Amino acid sequence: MSLIDLLRTALRSVSANKLRAALTMLGVVIGVASVIAMLALGNGARAAVDATFQSLGANQIQIGQRFAMDDGEFKPLGKTLSFADGLDMLSNISLVERVEMSVSKTVKARFGKNTVEINAIGTTADALEGIASSGDVQPVGWTAGTLLTVDDFIGEGRLFSTDEVYAGAPVCVLGYQTALDLFSGDDPIGETIWVERTRCTVIGVVAELESTDVQQRYRSDPNEGLLMPISTVIQTLYEDEPSVYMVVHVTDVNRIDEAKEQITNYLRERHQVEQDADGNYLDDFDMLTRNDILGQQQEAAQTFSLLLAAMATVSLIVGGIGIMNVMLVSVTERTREIGVRLAVGAKQRDIVSQFLLESILISASGGVAGIVIGILAIPLAAALNQGVALLYPGSIPLAFGVAVLIGIVFGLYPAIRAARLDPIEALRYE
């Protein structure tokens, strides 16, 4: 028989029992859908890591205050991560190149009769370098792929200097929208505003910015707020010294683990961190590097992927066993038909090909349905994995290939069994 004749016969046999075929392929559908979702999670995790790396360079270490729940609210553990900790880090740790520090507080800013409630960010003089390297925002209308420099983020005037940070100078740089709200389009450079009860000279205005993530543009506005020297904010806007967020840049990316260890020992000594009964340090700070993020993302994705892989394996095996069972039943039901075919000259390979094609048709149909369901289920998988899941293009041919393979493996035995029937005994079968 030609391939077309075999295919036509197989299609006719499968379509004669549509409900049985649909139920048989259910295991394959679930298994293939799980494969699609599993690979989407892995692909999404890698994309999430890449996106995080944009804001955390390979030579950077993030350091923040560690908090614990106390009487229903989060309170800092141990000693506060202070501005002085960051300043002295430069002179005490040779692997540290520079330390970016920041604090923030919601304040009221006033000029004349105009008052706005905004977020005041106290930072070091290299604040715009961090903003530029993060890749989170860009000047409005900026051409994608064009290299950004710090100067591109300054619309008017300048940013405060390192000397002004050390001196606690009463200067500030306004966000684009904040400048419009306070000065109604007039030139703000050199004017004095009130930030709470502190007089502050405006020395610059940040360029109008937009988020590089289109969805984020509707959730927050990067043009509202103002920048001040971190020392000024701590001295004038806080009664008690706040915890400082730090981004430490190390001199050698290949020695970042060594630098992390040095910083840990430095902070433990300064904060007089003690050990518990088991010898573990009760650190009052958290540190995060690129490798830490990679490990966390991979661990979460691997755990969920293993769960899906197990479900996919079980489903595919169950689906394959179902196909084998149905094909064995089909061989029994069509024993006389097989006997007739063999009696009129059909070869064993024709019988094997016919039943194998039927098995492949069932599994391949389940594969197609599973691919569709798997693609539709990716948003659900993303929700279960913190919104991280992206369709991996190679997963579609892979999943379909697995489905066809299931059909071949589990359909081969029934096909061979049918081909080995004795024609005489088959014709006598009732």
pLDDT 10s digits, 270-314: 988 888 878 788 888 998 887 776 666 667 667 766 776 777 777
Domain boundaries, the chain: 3-50+295-428, 67-283
Highest mean pLDDT among 137-146, 258-267, 271-280, 360-369: 258-267
CA 311 – CA 33 distance, rounded (Å): 10
pLDDT at 57: 65
Q: Report the pLDDT value the prediction gives residue 115, as an integer from 0 to 100.
A: 94
Residue whose structure tokens are 């298994």: 31
What stretches of 276-409 adopt beta strand conformation (E)?
Answer: 285-289
Mean pLDDT across the chain, nearest whole number?
Answer: 82
Q: Residue 95: how many CA atoms within 13 Å on its side-chain side? A: 18
Strands 209-211 and 154-157: unpaired
| Percent of the residues in the chain that have a pLDDT greater than 90, as a whole number | 29
More confident position, 391 or 195: 195
Task: Dig out the tokens for 314 from the structure.
Answer: 């079980």
What are the backbone dihedrals phi and psi of residue 125, each rounded to the nearest 5 degrees, phi first? -70, -10
Which has more confidence, 22 or 10? 22
pLDDT for res 424: 74
pLDDT of 419 higher than 70? yes
Query: Cα(230)–Cα(241) distance, rounded to whole angstroms?
Result: 11
What pLDDT was estimated at residue 103?
Answer: 94
> What CA–CA distance (Å, rounded) separates 160 from 169?
9
DSSP 281: B
Q: pLDDT at residue 29 above 60?
A: yes
Q: For helices 348-376 and 335-343, what crossing angle results, to 10°?
A: 130
Q: Which amino acid is at 81?
A: L
Task: Please say if the pLDDT value at position 172 is more than 90.
Answer: yes
Q: List the one residue out of 85, 76, 80, 78 whose CA is nearest residue 276.
A: 78
Least confident range from 54-58, 63-67, 182-186, 372-376: namely: 54-58
Q: Whole-prediction pTM value? A: 0.61
Among candidate residues 68, 55, 211, the one with its CA nearest the CA of residue 133: 55
Tell me how crowded residue 14 is: count the other CB atoms within 10 A of its CB. 21
**For residue 143, what pLDDT is reported?**
74
Q: Is the predicted pLDDT of residue 49 greater than 70, yes or no?
A: no
Give the Cα separation of 52 and 38 in Å (integer): 21
The continuous run of DSSP H or E covering 19 comes out as helix 18-24
Over the stretch 109-161, which tens digit does the pLDDT of each residue have?
999 999 999 999 999 998 888 777 766 788 887 776 677 778 888 999 999 99
Higher pLDDT, 304 or 103: 103
